[in-house]
Structure 1
Amino acid sequence: MKSCLSILLLILCTAYSSAQTYRKGEINIETFIEDLFGVQQGEDEYEEIYEGLLQLFLNPIHLNKTNPEELKSIFILNPYQINSFFKYRDNFGNLISLYELQAIPGFDLETIYRILPFVTLSDYQRSSGVSLWKRIASERDGYFILRHQRVWEMRRGFTPADTSSTGRISSRYLGDPHNIYGRFRIQHSKDFSLGFTVDKDAGEQFIWDPQTKRYGFNFLSYHFTLYNQGRWKVLTIGDFQAQFGQGLVYGAGFSVGKGAETITTVRRSSTGLKPYTGAMEFGFFRGIGTSFQAGQLTTTIIASHAPRDGRVEAIIDTLDRQELIISSLQLSGLHRTPTEIAYKDQVRESNFGTNFQYDHPNKRLQIGLNTLYTRFSQSFVRNPQVYNQFEFSGQTNFIGSAYYSYNFRNYFFFGEQALSKSRGMGYVIGMMSSLSKNIDLSILRRKFDRNFHTFYGNAFSENTRPINEEGIYIGINFRPSIKYNWSIYYDQFKFPWLKFRTYAPSEGHEWMSRFTYKPSKAVLLFAQFREESKARNISEMLGPQTTYQLSQGKKWNYTVNLDYKINDKFSFKSRINGSRFDFSNNITKGYAISQDLNVDYQKWRISSRFVLFDTDNFDNRQYIYERNVLWAFSIPALHGQGYRYYLLGQYKLNQKLTFWARFARTTYTDREQIGSGLQTIQGSVQTETIFQLRYQFNR
């Protein structure tokens, strides 16, 4: 009976889709950024997010074998849609075709288009009798990417060194201005993955120098991962990351926070061990990780020993003995000057961690335990400041946590509580729910002590790290019809102890509202408003008595955006961004107006933009996501006065080769000098080019 109903539904869906064919293709990253992030931030915050997105794309979810935890991890489906999916599968059996998604209540075409890159109905097939190395050699899902990037105006760091009046020779970059990036990857979903990533930043030397731990490229990441080897779910060697619970202990992978998607992004999913293929030089383990499944219990073990950039100094202890200590860790990953090179790989960091996770057979309950022990090669002794006295110090840290996730109809409950060696505690507890087919609600409460120490945590928080914060978040999404959508969130937070640039306990709030109107597939219009209130030190001090005085800064951002698709070849995007910042009774403003034209014709894809901007200061800088070459990104901070434009072209030469070229230029009308320090450009123009080539194997 179930099979008959499934066949009937498939026929109906196929007939319905005859005029509306869709296929799995490349991710529309621009749409994802718009949906997940209400106000875009600097580029550094997106590196790890892009890598997590890539992992999801390369390892699609099998819809007939998935569970609610996996479907939540892509931040697309609301609780009602997830519950409807599993009800449908329970009633009618496994899906026969992706077209069948149209028959599931709550799955409109827009939702289906968005999830297609991340789902599949194809089983991975390990050819019987074929060795692993032959499977690797014949795998079609493999590629090599080579990318060149350069700013063409001369920065001060590349000019000849000068001598000061005291006879001191100024510092300069030792390398050339070329940024070279390479990525090799061969993988088959749920079977194996291997690859490496190399990177040389602008200003770094391409040199073989074991004494300074530089071997050609200044950074190399590599991994080899096997999946589903009997009870061994994952076995990975090299560089990898881990995501379990709500990110208090293990918080890598694709995770976001507050944004235009007000419901699904508040929660983290336990996606387990993932290969690390990025170019960021921190935030990953290097060693071995494995997950073993016995019944409903999965055990994961992590062992890592990795180099870290840091400043190591010698001090004299109480017995007049010299002792080496770590005064700071360097997270930039740059090795351009003698000072930066001296920091390279000076610290060794060892980690040993475990995870125990129980998944109930009905797939509605998940509970788990995390532990992570970290040891540095030397003791960490910070330069004492008034705000950092509760930050981590010493040579070792231990953190453990317990987490849960429970689904009851359209209600998803989740939480995690952790304790670090310092006795600092942190917890996250929340709920997502579809109150009806048209209304979704999310609530999240978090609290992190001022001495809560986690090195690989990435929990939902206002700060960049889960420390010294407590708050409550409420999000609502209302869909009166397919054409209209209204989302809003409100977040109240406070910081019980001092922070950098905030030398007193403080509090604040943030709220955002977006209204979206989509009258047809060709037109998308949205308007968005956001307010944020946070305290910080008053910088213009009148005397010593004002050192710790704060003022509440309040910022308003607004965006109006129109996307219009003329036909299959041409599309436009028009946008107005604006802001207003009030700090200590000083009001400043800024805006940016942009116009895009995109062309998709046969083997060509061309994207272009022209943007005008005018801001009073850096506090009103404007961020607008730009299209870039595959798996690269650009979100420049536009401030001051001027205009910017870019042209991006993609051409598929044949089945194996695809070429990208990008030209971008920013012209300022209010200055004759760009940047500061060694990054200074004498002039008002900054020009950047990117060239990328991708070769796909066995095509």
Structure 2
Amino acid sequence: MKTLVSIGILVLMVVHQSQAQTYRKDEINIENFIEELFGMQRSDENYEDLYESLLQVFLNPINLNKTNAEELKSIFILTPSQVNSFIAYQNQFGEFISIYELQAIPDFDLETIYKLLPFVVLDDSEKMQGSLKERVLSSKDAYFIFRQNRVWETRKGYTPPDTLGNGELTSRYLGDPNSLYGRFRIQHSKDFSLGFTIDKDSGEQFIWNPNSKRFGFNFLSYHFTLYNQGNFKAISLGDFQMQTGQGLVFGAGFGVGKGAETITTVRRSTIGIRPYTAALEFGFFRGMAATYKAGPLNVTLMASNAPRDGNLQVQIDTIETTEEIITSLQSSGLHRTATEITYKNRIREKNLGANIHYQSRKRDFQIGVNSLYTQFGQAFQRNRQVYNQYEFYGKANHLHSLYFAYNYQNYFFFGETAISKSGGKGSVLGMMSSLHPKLGFSVLWRRFDRDFHSFYGNAFSEGTRPINEHGLYFGLNYKPNQKITWSVYYDYFRFPWLKYRVYALSAGNEWLTRFTYSPSRKILLFAQIREESKSRNISELQNNFQSGYQLSQGKKWNYAFNLDYSLDKHWSIKSRIMSSRFDFNNKTTRGFAISQDINVDYEKWRLSGRIVLFDTEDYDNRQFIYERNVLWLFSIPALNGQGMRYYLLGQYKINPKLTFWARIGRTIFTDREVIGSGLQEINGKKITETVFQLQYQFNR
């Protein structure tokens, strides 16, 4: 039987030979995949970390002959029925002999397979040959990247300071406008990973000053991780993240939330320990972690002692004693001015955590527990306001959770519930299902108390953190054939306590629908509509008195129409029309953007270009359009006002070891003579940025 299947696969390979040849792994443009997952972009999402997480999956592909259902679900491509079909096929026929054998699996269409190809392999990537030193020195996944980028117009922060009436000078940036970034990485999938990341933001000094904790580059991240060392599945030293359960306790990694993919993205996967390689200066642990496998149990222990940026103030306890307290934590990672430098690494944050994960023999059921204890070097006492009185206060927090996942036929159930030191609880309960081979369905309920405190949570939510929110989400995906896809979600949420800029109890809802038509692999059309309804304070009443306790429901509509067309194997174009409308307090404002892309892709070089015209009446109608950028740099600018933006990106593979990128982008406004405010202010109507990047790949 296996022989007959193999013969059939060879026939399919011949039929689709011209298509398959275009999908070599090193040429996959995963940005298209990212854009589909993100759907309608919003400014409060941490896209850099999401992008980094996806790239780690791309660099550590799944071995189809050694995978499991949990790993397959973690990449948000396969539906529950497709995962079950994959496992059933493998159980019946054994290991795959060709990547194109995926075409023989029931429920797998060509579109799904093309999406899957960049993230899977068939070679025995877990097989270790030679000593660790030999494997490190011979790894083909070894590279060094260096990048420089800057804005060329002069911001106010780089001009000479003014003299105040008391003789003091106004604040200015102490460094130059160049941003520098470097990354070194050597890895072998499921074997080892080691490397470091260095970063200096624009305006920061390149200086060696131990007193201010600046050592050349402003930020340094490093890690060394080993996999599959006897019973140890992973051992990590340095900087790392963890993702387990539904992200209530350990929620780092790739969790995209609401987007055009309405089914698979509602669930978080348990991926355990993951090296931290981003340049964001928060949201990671620094120390050591290890996962030990004991039969069906995986036991993970971690310890971290990491510096954090924050504002410390002196509080007088008695007439004779004083005590430092934390009034705020800083997450920008910027240290450009004297004030920002005083925030750098002022706080020590210690974490002790554990995870116990059980998986049944049939791999259809898993259950686990999480615990995390966090202690700050000083007590946290933020400036109390009406809306934040249930936020975390004190010096220590502990958090514990129980989670599960169960697969029954084409129904996949999952959930997690947690409790923090304050007694506040957080819960997530959901289901994904393939009601029919052409129809997918998802539902997710969540409840986060107003005093639920989770510093590393990344659960599915409307807000950026799992706190002060109740919600219910429904998603549908209908695919009657390979050419047509219709997806839709509806999410209802309410906030049981006040929020920033919402000084009363409030509720809202959001829905999105996307219709996609792809008559051939050369053409992709989609139309998308999103509506969101949320409350916010009315700052001005008709009698001109200020009040932060009067609310009005703001409604925003976003519309997008997109056409991707491949002219041939080298040239492609993309056209997009976006518009929005915002209704608030009996006032309606609008905005739109029209963009045109052209892309050229040859063996050694690629060019991408875009021009955008935009016109928005206010900030609420700003238009987000994903842009291509150099490798490991993510860009979704918010276009606000009137004007034009364009960029040109070039990539050239000088030789098998060396690749060079160059990018220039410019925004020209027609409705202003000054861009930005404060120290970021630019006198003029245009802003221009450039990026140059080199990547050197060892052992190529």
Same fold at TM > 0.5: yes
Structure 1 pair 669–643 and aligned structure 2 pair: CA distance change class (3 A): same
Distance 2:44 2:498 in 1: 27
Equivalence map 1:217-236=2 (5 Å): 217-236=217-236
Instruction: Structure 1: give runs of 5+ residues left out of the alignment.
Output: none
Quick one: distance in 2 between partners of 1:26 and 1:330? Answer: 38
SS in 2 for 1:435: strand
- CA deviation profile, 1:637-667 (whole Å, cap 9, x unmatched): 1010000000000000000000000010000
* Aligned position for 1:7: 6
- Map 1:132-151 → 2, pairs under 5 A: 132-151=132-151
The equivalent residue for 2:158 is: 158
Residue 13 of structure 1, CA deviation: 3.4
Corresponding residue SS for 1:239 = strand
How far apart are the structure 1 equivalents of 2:493 and 2:27? 38
Q: Does 1:504 align with 2:488?
A: no
Q: Note the C-alpha offset of 1:545.
A: 7.5
**Which 10-residue stretch deviates more, 495-504 or 7-16?**
7-16
CA distance in structure 1 between the aligned counterparts of 2:257 and 2:657, rounded to whole angstroms: 37
Deviations 1:452-482 (A, max 9, x none): 0000000000000000000100000000111
- Residue 23 of structure 1 is matched in structure 2 by 24
Work out the CA distance in 2 between the residues paired with 1:489 and 1:195: 40
C-alpha separation in 2, matches of 1:320 and 1:549? 45
Q: CA deviation at 1:125?
A: 5.5
State the partner residue of 1:280: 280
- Three-state SS of the structure 2 residue aligned to 1:100 is helix
| Shift, 1:131, TM fit | 2.1
C-alpha displacement of 1:258: 0.5
For the pair 1:271 / 2:267, whether they are aligned, the reply is: no
Counterpart amino acid of 2:17? S
Report the counterpart of residue 431 of structure 1 in structure 2.
Answer: 431
3-state DSSP class of the match of 1:25? helix
- The answer to whether the 8 A contact 1:43-1:634 is kept is no
> SS of the counterpart of 1:552?
strand
| Corresponding residue number in structure 2 for 1:305 | 305
Cα distance in 1, alignment partners of residues 124 and 288 from structure 2: 27
Which residue in the other structure is 1:574 paired with?
575
Question: What amino acid maps onto 2:225 in structure 1?
Answer: T
Equivalent in the alignment of 2:188: 188
- State yes or no: 1:245 paired with 2:245: yes
Secondary structure in structure 2 of the residue aligned to 1:40 = coil
Q: Partner of 2:341 in structure 1?
A: 341
The residue type equivalent to 1:669 in the other structure is T
2:91 paired residue number: 90
Structure 2 distance, partners of 1:465, 1:538, is 24
- Partner of 2:471 in structure 1? 471
Aligned partner of 2:450 in structure 1 is: 450
| Offset of residue 544 of structure 1 | 6.1
For the residues of structure 1 that align with 2:415 and 2:49, how far apart are their CA atoms? 23
Give the aligned residue type for 1:66: T
Contact 2:490 2:512 in 1 (8 A): yes
- Partners of 1:37 and 1:199 lie apart in 2 by 26
TM-score (norm 2): 0.98
CA distance in 2, matches of 1:218, 1:43: 25
Provide the C-alpha distance between the structure 1 equivalents of 2:687 and 2:45, rounded to a whole number of angstroms. 20
Secondary structure of residue in 1 paired with 2:25:
coil
CA shift at 1:43, angstroms?
8.3
State how far apart, in whole Å, the 2-side matches of 1:247 and 1:424 are.
16
Q: How does 1:30-429 map to 2 (within 5 A)?
A: 30-42=31-43, 45-124=46-125, 126-128=127-129, 130-318=130-318, 320-429=320-429
- 2:566 alignment partner in structure 1: 565
* Partner Cα distance (1:268, 1:664) in 2: 35
In 1, Cα distance between equivalents of 2:55 and 2:32: 15
Give how far 1:209 is off: 0.2
Distance 1:412 1:317 in 2: 55
How much does 1:363 deviate? 0.8
Q: Out of 231-240 and 57-66, give the one that drifted further.
A: 57-66
- Whether the aligned pair in 2 keeps the contact of 1:43 and 1:635 (CA below 8 Å) is no
Q: Kindly indicate whether the alpha-carbon contact (under 8 Å) linking 2:503 and 2:549 is maintained by their aligned counterparts in 1.
A: yes
2:691 is equivalent to residue 673 of structure 1: no
Q: Distance in 2 between matches of 1:126 and 1:37?
A: 35
Aligned letter for 1:355? N
Q: Deviations over 1:184-237 (max 9, x none)?
A: 000000110000000000000000000000000000000000000000000000
In 2, distance between residues paired with 1:78 and 1:391? 38
The amino acid of 1:324's aligned partner reads: E
| Deviation, structure 1 residue 117 | 1.3
Whole-angstrom distance in 2 between the partners of 1:319 and 1:270: 52
Instruction: Provide the rounded CA distance (Å) in 2 between the counterparts of 1:519 and 1:397.
Output: 54
Alpha-carbon separation, structure 2, partners of 1:27 and 1:492:
37
Cα deviation for residue 529 of structure 1 reads 0.5
Q: How far did residue 120 of structure 1 move?
A: 1.1
1:250 is paired with a residue of what secondary structure?
coil
Q: Which amino acid aligns with 1:495?
A: F
After TM superposition, give the deviation of residue 410 of structure 1 in Å.
Answer: 0.7
1:91 positional shift: 1.6
Structure 2: distance between partners of 1:161 and 1:44: 35
Shift of 1:418: 0.2
CA–CA distance in structure 1, aligned partners of residues 88 and 128 of structure 2 = 33
**CA distance in 2 between partners of 1:126 and 1:483 (Å):** 40
Q: Assess if the C-alpha contact under 8 Å between 1:200 and 1:219 holds in 2.
A: yes
Following the alignment from structure 2 to structure 1, what is the Cα–Cα distance between the partners of residues 319 and 76? Answer: 57
The SS at the match of 2:226 is strand
One-letter amino acid of the counterpart of residue 282, structure 1: F
1:577-615: per-residue Cα shift (whole Å, max 9, x none)? Answer: 000000101100000000001111231100000000000
Q: After TM superposition, give the deviation of residue 168 of structure 1 in Å.
A: 3.1
Give the drift of 1:547: 3.0
Task: Give the deviation of 1:253 after TM superposition.
Answer: 0.8
Q: Secondary structure of 2:489's partner?
A: strand
- The SS at the match of 1:485 is strand
8 Å CA contact 1:76–1:114 kept in 2: the answer is yes
Measure how far apart 1:432 and its partner are. 0.3
Secondary structure of 2:535 counterpart:
strand
Q: Which letter does structure 2 place at the counterpart of 1:82?
A: V
CA contact (8 A) 2:69 2:363 kept: yes
Cα-Cα RMSD: 1.3
CA distance in 1: counterparts of 2:531 and 2:208, whole angstroms: 51
Residues 206 and 222 (structure 1), Cα distance of their counterparts in 2 relative to 1, 3 Å cut: same
* Runs of 4+ with >6 A deviation: none
The answer to whether the Cα contact below 8 Å between 1:514 and 1:528 also exists between their aligned partners in 2 is yes
Contact 2:226-2:234 at 8 Å conserved across structures: yes
Tell me if the contact between 1:13 and 1:103 (Cα under 8 Å) persists in the aligned partners: no
Give the length in aligned residue pairs. 697
Cα displacement string for residues 464-510 of structure 1 (whole angstroms, at most 9, x for unaligned residues):
00000001000000001111010000000000100000011100000
SS in 2 for 1:494: strand
**What is the aligned partner in structure 2 of residue 608 from structure 1?**
609
CA contact (8 A) 2:297 2:356 kept: yes
Distance 1:150 1:637 in 2: 18
Report the alpha carbon displacement of residue 124 of structure 1 after superposing the two structures with TM. Answer: 2.4
Contact 1:234 1:291 survives alignment (8 Å): yes
Q: Which AA in structure 2 matches 1:309?
A: D
- Which moves more between the two structures, 158-167 or 188-197? 158-167
| CA shift in 2, pair 1:14/1:569, >3 Å | closer
Relative to structure 1, is the Cα distance of residues 660 and 43 closer, same or farther in structure 2, using a 3 angstrom cutoff? farther
Query: Which secondary structure state, in structure 1, belongs to the residue aligned with residue 481 of structure 2?
Result: coil
Alignment partner, residue 599 of structure 2: 598
Give the match's secondary structure for 2:462: coil
User: 1:503-531: per-residue Cα shift (whole Å, max 9, x none)?
Assistant: 11100000011000101111100000110
Distance 1:623 1:415 in 2: 32
Alignment correspondent of 2:656: 655
- Unpaired segments ≥5 residues, structure 2: none
